[in-house]
A and B are shown apart, each in its own frame.
Chain A
Amino acid sequence: MIKAEHLRYAYNAAETEELKFALDDVDLTVSEGEFVAVLGHNGCGKSTLAKHFNGLLLPSGGKVYVSGMDTKDDAYYWDIRKTVGMVFQNPDNQLVATVVEEDVAFAPENLGVPSDEIRKRVDEALKTVDMYEMRRHAPHLLSGGQKQRVAIAGVIAMEPKCIVFDEPTAMLDPKGRREVIDTILKLKNEKHMTVVLITHYMEEAVKADRVVVMDKGKIVIDDVPKKVFSQVRLLKSLGLDVPQVTELCYLLNKAGLSLPNDILTVQECADELEKLFK
């Protein structure tokens, strides 16, 4: 689906300065239907990486392929954007229209889809994100979570194969965060879409099929969540947290208990503790 090979990216630095690589030799493959979470603290290059996936940024070195199309090839410019949709951090700055359904229609309108087909896509997209009842509302009167869901619907209506979420929950309250994460999981499980989620919330990354941890423009860990989060000390040294339960188990183990170190959910933790004290 998406393949990055020896990807390097340097922001334009002044001539006297040494080139600083925001991305340094990144190799990453995202397969079709996969849910990949990208973790890392601020400035590690995760957003820069995301912007390479639909050609918003072009590599300074190496290649990025989307469904086999080289992002550097001008001929695929719009096809690539159509294949990989993007949802950004601030829901306010993604909505262009003053009525929810007209905003959702924006992408298919740009693609020249006929009106009745747009209507179908819009209705379906709004039902998918559970905002159909509010289709005639003005976006500025919605809550943050609702706005972000409208933004997601706007991308779904474009019918991409993959959606890249660039910290979609960073500006939301806990309720909005849950709504958005539930929507993302729904897209993955019911619509079988490929999802790349850039985040710094561990609780969200846990739900992914695969977690990629980045630091200073490089990929440090690339594995299933259980294996990633069991490396508590390494994650901490990268300035990242682990899910609270995992940390609890880590500390309990340090204090002399013998729990498995790949516990990610409260339920698992409770079960293991029960087993231990029986």
Chain B
Amino acid sequence: MLKDITLGQFFPIDSPLHRMDPRTKILLLILHIVAIFLANNTAGYVLVTLFTLMIMLLSRVPLKMYFRGLKPILFVIIFTAVLNIFLTPGTKIELFNYETPMTWEGLVLAGKMALRLVLLIITSSALTYTTSPIILTDGIEKLLSPFAKLGLPTYELAMMMSIAIRFIPTLIEETDKIMKAQKARGADFESGSVIRRVKALAPMLIPLFISAFRRADELAVAMESRCYQGGSKRTRLNEIHFASVDYVAAAIFLLFFAALITLRILL
């Protein structure tokens, strides 16, 4: 179960999306999220869905990966859908005779909300699948750089973020190991009341924290031995810069965005 996490799972292949500048991707992602919520009629939904599908295909990431990324939020999607179906006022569906009836309007709304959520997750994972975390943090750093003049330590923030991402799998593995070790000595994480179970976590969390601190210490020494001296003078292996692919992507996206707004006004 601990292996299923897809957060920040970069897919190291080559595609037009991989070649785009992270800044373009981040900005377009934000605009795309706006677009998803701007769509309010059938034509709009079809357009947004098709556009998202195009992104998925352009990324050359196996579609299977996208669906796997949806799994963890399946529950949220179903839960909101059910609430919408039953709680939206409107024409009753005379299929079953429940106290709180299903409505047609609810069904439609549920469909729309589910679609929006799915599109949202898919486009966000398209960003993380096609951008290595380091380049992504580079992009965020550059986007935040105007704030550096106001005293925001953008470089340090970006470094912290990439190290955090780097250590997620390591700490997950460690947690798994500690849990097994404690279970082998009779710890019980699964039974009893909620309070009991929370208490049972202590023998797992304490070693985890201690080891994380030790790791941090060793990492700091290792970074210092490799001449880490903070932001200003650093160069990059892959210096990010806008290329033709970025201009093309931005143009296509703006066209799509304009079409969507036209649809919203006209229909």
Q: Residues on A close to B: CB < 8 A?
A: 54, 56, 78, 81-82, 85-86, 88, 90, 92-99, 101-102, 105-115, 118-119, 122, 136-140, 151, 154-155, 158
Contacts and interface: CB of A to CB of B under 8 A. Distances in A.
Contact of B218 (A94, A111, A136, A158): A94
A110 B227 contact: yes
A94 B222 contact: yes
Interface in B151-171: 162-163, 165-166, 169-170
A139 B219 CA distance: 15
Given A93-B218, A94-B219, A81 B237 contact: no
Contacts of A93: 215, 218-219, 222
B134 A88 contact: no
Interface in B184-228: 215, 218-219, 221-228
Contact of A97 (B134, B170, B228, B239): B134
B64 interface: no
Contacts of B8: 98
Given A92-B215, A108-B237, 12 more contacts: A54-B225, A56-B221, A56-B224, A81-B226, A82-B227, A85-B226, A92-B170, A97-B134, A98-B134, A105-B236, A106-B226, A137-B12
B226 A155 contact: yes
Interface residues of B, number: 32
A101 B170 contact: no
A110 B228 contact: yes
Nearest to A106: B226
A264 to B, nearest CB: 32
Nearest to B237: A105
5 contacts: A88-B221, A98-B8, A106-B223, A119-B237, A158-B227
A201 B215 CA distance: 24
